[in-house]
Structure 1
Amino acid sequence: MDKNLFPSNTLFKYSSFIKHLNIYKISKSIEDWDRTLATKNFRKSNFTKLICRSLIQLFIENVVNLHSLHVSYGSFDDIFELILQNSNFIGNIKNFKLGHLEMSVSTIKLLTFLSSNCNSISSLSYQCYNNYEHQQMMGLSQIIKSQKNLRKILFRSPLNQSLLSLKNSNCSNTLNTIIFDDIEFKNIIILNEVFNQLNVLESIHIIL
């Protein structure tokens, strides 16, 4: 990475204070910024990827423990590969938000890593508006099953597979809050069966 791309006297020297990473918003902000430039020395996609990857590299080099990770809306193979090469960066995240992603080898590897190597997630949000990729749903289910400290979960997605993952999961003694956001409950018959296995469940919220 070109060290002159972000000089040491810029605000990025304070990246050690960055605890919340939303990859989509970073990418979108860079794209918007690119549109304001008078000259176009790069193709937009290449420019965005270069700057975004450079930022993530800076964060990886300076952030000791990332607290929150939000991945959604698009394809971020280069960034996922970079993160997975420095897996300590996300190894202890507490909040994870997952939305629409183009499924690829890198996306599957990221979800697999989180389910196998990160059991520190206490708040999980999954927002998908239709029957999206089966592999993504399976990846989410494996993440849910692996968590030992999960306290809050938000669903905005087809429910059956996600709810089934709560049965006999490691979070049965920690999960106390479930939020259903714009969920169609028709034909869902496993609610009681799942809720009866959640020993410390305190509140259920339904957002219409």
Structure 2
Amino acid sequence: MTCSKLFSGYLPELTDEIIQYFRNDYKTLHSCALVNRFWSRLSIPLLWEDPSDFRFIETYLRRLNEDDKNKLNNYWNKNNPYSNTLFNYPSFIKYLNTKKFIDSINSFINEEKFSNRIKNSDNIERIICDLIFKLFIENEVNLHTFELEVIIDDSLVSFELLLECLKFTCNMKNLESFYFQMAIMDYDEYYKIKEFLMEIIKSQQNLKNTSFENVSFNDFLSLENNMNLPISLFTSSNCLNTLNKIVFFDTDFRNVEFKAIESLNVLESIHILYCINLNSNFIQQIMSFTKPFKLKSLFMKTKIQIRLLESLLQKSCDYLENIGFELSMYKSGQLEPIINQCTKIRYFELRRINNQITFPTLNLIKSFGNSLNYLSIEFRRHSHVSSDDIRLSSNIFLKLGEILPPKLEYLSLSLMINARDFNTFLFKTRNIIIKKLLIENLMKEGDLIPYIKEHVMKEKRVKYLAIDESVTENDIKEFESYNIKFVNFDDFYIRAYEFVNEMY
């Protein structure tokens, strides 16, 4: 009886709650949409929240007004591509990443070109992009998450339309997440966009998360012509009692007035990813905070003076959960006593290994203990790789077998691996469970699959496996019989920014 009521719509709240549970399971949502009209009305909005699927583009084109359809007719060669749609699909959009959406338009156009449905390809990408963004504006799309990621000189979006998008966004009061990344080469464009950007932040009433990439927070133009903003804009906006996460990615902190951050009343996490100019002025401002400085992530792009780094970590060690740096930045023994006071590290990233510092730093992995869930080690050299590098990589691999925690969500290793060392490593870690194991062998030689079968597959220690060597269909089927799925290395490789966005 209850089941029949669910299907017929007599229990709408319960049915909606069930379908909401499948928000990111598009295959199941599509099946739900086919059950009946009631289930379709609940499922379709979830399916169309993110417009970055290139298969959505044609449906959006059907929603164009007559004047815009006529513009497109000069380029299109398809029978009745503009029939009416059952729903107003643009009204369902809640998440928009401009770069992903533009990429989906390109994919759609390539499909149409392959099918010989394009009559005139001159500037068609720009035309379709402008028309669809115009459609979104006309439909008063009410976004929850807006990721503005545009390089002006290389953008399919016209500058005029971009300004319209920004102006429209200023009128949206319910943005929860706002991400901004833009490289601007023209000063006139720069000032116009900056004005709208500041207005967007000031106008929001429910902004909880914000991220900035390639931004300078000072009163002067960046040397690289990236956007600069006064960080005090947060304190002069409605964000004081709503903003709980800020991500700074590849940001320039030169001359920043960072003390304004302390005015945010509900800020729970700050993430600094590969930023520059974390100098004495920046650190001293943090040290003067009377409130806790809740730095959750610190991934270093350039060296921070050791005394400044020590001060920063002392201020934030009770909150820091993710850290990454290049081993070549510091001398042996400098980092370990400082980082050792951070007892909640979940994600640890080591890059560009240095002979002198490797093993003391690796001991940090052991000291982090069971809190460590994500570990990434990359052995990279810009210059020629020597035999010493190969021996070092081998020793690292063997050392890891002795210090890894008993359980890891994610382990990514880009090392120069020989089969004997790999076999020893897998034997030493035979009791360790790793959900996602990514292996990149920089030596590009040797067959590692037999050892993985022996020590990993048969013990069912891994759920997802990525390895950069050729794998036969029979191997894939054999691993699948043990519930281990082969995946693409790049698809499963965790980047700091993506990790922070997903986890916080």
Q: Which residue identity does 1:8 align to in structure 2? A: N
| Residue 200 to residue 60, structure 1, CA distance change in 2 (3 Å) | farther
**For 2:281, which of 169, 172, 189 is the aligned residue?**
189
Q: Give the secondary structure class of the aligned counterpart of 1:72.
A: strand
Radius of gyration: which is bigger? 2
Matched residues in 1 for 2:139 and 2:99: separation? 20
SS in 2 for 1:180: strand
- 1:137 maps to which residue? 228
Q: Could you list the runs of 5+ residues in structure 2 that have no partner in the other structure?
A: 1-62, 70-81, 216-221, 300-323, 325-504
Q: Is 1:160 paired with 2:254?
A: yes
1:30 equivalent in alignment to 2:105: yes
* Shift, 1:187, TM fit: 2.6
Percent of aligned positions with the same letter in both sequences? Answer: 19
Q: How many residues align?
A: 201
Question: Following TM superposition, by how much is the alpha carbon of 1:169 offset from its aligned partner in structure 2, in angstroms?
Answer: 4.9
Asked if structure 2 preserves the Cα contact closer than 8 Å seen for 1:172 and 1:198, the reply is no
1:23-172 mapped onto 2 (5 Å cutoff): 23-36=98-111, 37=113, 38=116, 39-44=118-123, 47-63=124-140, 65-75=142-152, 76=157, 77-87=159-169, 89-102=171-184, 104=189, 105-128=191-214, 132-133=224-225, 136-138=227-229, 141=231, 143-145=233-235, 146=237, 147-148=239-240, 149-156=242-249, 157-161=251-255, 163-164=256-257, 166-169=258-261, 171-172=263-264
Q: CA deviation at 1:10?
A: 7.0
Listed as ranges, the gaps of 5+ residues in structure 1 are none
Kindly indicate whether the alpha-carbon contact (under 8 Å) linking 1:150 and 1:171 is maintained by their aligned counterparts in 2.
no
Task: Please give the alpha-carbon distance, in whole angstroms, between the structure 1 residues aligned to 2:296 and 2:225.
Answer: 27
TM-score, reference length from structure 2: 0.35
SS state of the match for residue 246, structure 2? strand
Higher RCO (CA-CA < 8 Å; seq separation 6+): 1
Shift of 1:24: 1.7
TM-score of the aligned structures, taking structure 1 as reference length: 0.76
- Post-superposition Cα deviations, 1:36-93, rounded to whole Å, max 9, x if no partner, equal 413351423xx22322232223333445531111112322423323224535653331
Query: Alpha-carbon deviation of 1:7?
Result: 4.1
Matching residue of 1:9? 85
Q: Answer yes or no: is the 8 Å Cα contact 2:170–2:203 preserved in 1.
A: no
The amino acid across from 1:138 in the alignment is L
1:180 corresponds in structure 2 to 272
Quote the RMSD (CA, aligned, Å): 3.2
Per-residue CA deviation, residues 90-120 of structure 1 (Å, 9 max, x unaligned), is: 3331111111332515423321322442353
The alpha-carbon deviation at position 196 of structure 1 amounts to 4.2
Q: Which AA in structure 2 matches 1:181?
A: L
* SS of 1:65 mapped into structure 2: coil
